[in-house]
Amino acid sequence: MEWAQLGPAVIVAVIGFGGAFVTSKIQHKGRPENALIDQLQEEMLTMRKDIADLKTEQQKSKRREMIRDNYINRLREHINAGNPPPPPEWPEGLYD
C-alpha cells in the first residue's frame, strides 16, 4: 500500500523536474540568439558612427575642393591677364 501512496508523489516530482528541464532548455536556447542580436546592434551602432564620420570628412573634402578650384581659377586669371609674380595669396580656410 505504501507504493500506491508514493505513486502520485513520484509522478508530481517527475512532472516538476521535467518542467524545470524544459524551461531550462528554452532559456538556454534563447541566450545565443540574444547574444547575437546584442552583438549585431553594437556593430550597427559602430557602423552608424563610422558613416557619420565619413559624411563629415566628405563635407570637409568637398569644401577644400571648392576652395582649391576657386584658387586655380584665380591663378589662371592672373596668368591669362599677363600679371607678373607673385601669384594671388593662398586661400584661407583650405586646411581648417
Give the pLDDT confidence score for residue 29 in this predicted structure: 58
Give the pLDDT confidence score for residue 4 in this predicted structure: 60
Measured CA to CA, the distance from residue 96 to residue 93 in angstroms comes to: 5
Tens-binned pLDDT, residue by residue, of the chain (96 aa): 565 666 666 677 777 766 766 666 665 556 788 889 999 999 999 999 999 999 999 999 999 999 999 999 999 999 999 999 999 999 998 877
User: How many CA atoms, within 13 angstroms, populate the side-chain half-sphere of residue 26?
Assistant: 6
**Which three three-digit cell numbers place residue 21?**
528541464
